[in-house]
Amino acid sequence: MATISVRVSDSEKEWLQYMADFYGVTLSELIKKYSMEQLEDEYDRQTAEVAHKLWVESGKQTVSMQEVLAEFGGL
């Protein structure tokens, strides 16, 4: 398993340790879980933007959620 070092200030480490204790996990688990989740969310967002751009550039149209709800009676 690889190891990554991250430098933080003493106050940042204290806060991160407080949060790890609060969630009942190790400091490493806390940092890994939350950094991976944020990176995955950002990757998904950027992928969706590219897909939408390619969709529109190909001449296809999008439909807003309001239009969908109006058409299907607010299901």
Segment 2-19, tens digit of pLDDT: 999 999 999 999 999 999
Structure tokens at 75: 């299901």
In a domain, 36, yes or no: yes
In a domain, 39, yes or no: yes
Q: Is the pTM of this model over 0.85?
A: no
What's the domain count of the chain?
Answer: 1
Residue 40 is assigned to a structural domain of this protein = yes
Is 3 contained in some domain?
A: no
pLDDT tens column, 2-61:
999 999 999 999 999 999 999 999 999 999 999 999 999 999 999 999 999 999 999 998
pLDDT band at residue 62 under the 50/70/90 scheme: confident
Is 58 domain-assigned? yes
CA 34 vs CA 13, 16, 17, 48: distances in Å? 15, 11, 14, 21
Which domain range does residue 66 map to? 10-71
Judge whether residue 63 has pLDDT over 90. no
In a domain, residue 52? The reply is yes
